[in-house]
Amino acid sequence: MTDSFSHMLRTGRAADVEAVLALWRRAEASPSSTESSEDVGGLIGRDPEALLVAEAGGEVVGSLIVGWDGWRATFYRLAVDPAHRRRGLASALVRAGEERLAALGARRLNAIVESHKPGAMAFWASAGYQLQAGRSRFVKNLP
């Protein structure tokens, strides 16, 4: 998979985990309680195709987690390196994620988006996702 700016899109592997965590720090993706190497390694261990990365010049510059539970699909951790933004990279990652999910039979896709980030909100709207009113997200961290 390549986009029009010679970024290569591919499935992320265990060897990419540290680079992906570094990208999330550069991209100022807000940290959560699931940001360790073990957490991301666990994701890949359970679903080896769940992590998409974009690479440029041998460096990981984009990421998207494509979660599929057999019923519904959820995107997490869409992040693009600040130096590579506004070139369609996030759009290419989401398109690749949608293709993967369609092949798996998914019909309803969710994106968890930080509502205080106008760029993120604008991106998902531009990608054709509708903001769902009347729902709130409840979370709980297990010890």
Ligand X SMILES: CC(C)(COP(=O)(O)OP(=O)(O)OC[C@H]1O[C@@H](n2cnc3c(N)ncnc32)[C@H](O)[C@@H]1OP(=O)(O)O)[C@@H](O)C(=O)NCCC(=O)NCCS
Q: Does 74 bind ligand X (CB under 6 A)?
A: no
> What is the rounded (10 degree) CA torsion for 27, 47, 16, 102?
-60
Choosing from 38, 39, 99, 114, the residue that interacts with ligand X (CB under 6 A) is 114
Number of Cα atoms under 13 Å in the Cβ half of residue 17: 15
Distance between CA atoms of residues 138 and 112, nearest Å: 12
Rank residues 13 and 117 by Cβ distance to ligand X and give the closer one: 117
Q: Is 59 in the site for ligand X (CB under 6 A)?
A: no
Contact residue for ligand X among 9, 29, 96, 109 (CB under 6 A)? 29
Q: Return phi, psi of residue 66, to 5°.
A: -115, 100
Please enumerate in sequence order all residues whose Cβ is within 8 A of that of 56, keeping only pairs 6 or more positions apart, or say none: 5, 6, 7, 8, 84
Examine residue 88 and tell whether it contacts ligand X (CB under 6 A). yes
Q: Name the one range near ligand X by CB under 6 A: 5-13, 14-22, 44-52, 110-118.
A: 110-118
Residues that bind ligand X (CB under 6 A): 27-29, 78-80, 85-91, 113-114, 117, 119-120, 122-123, 126
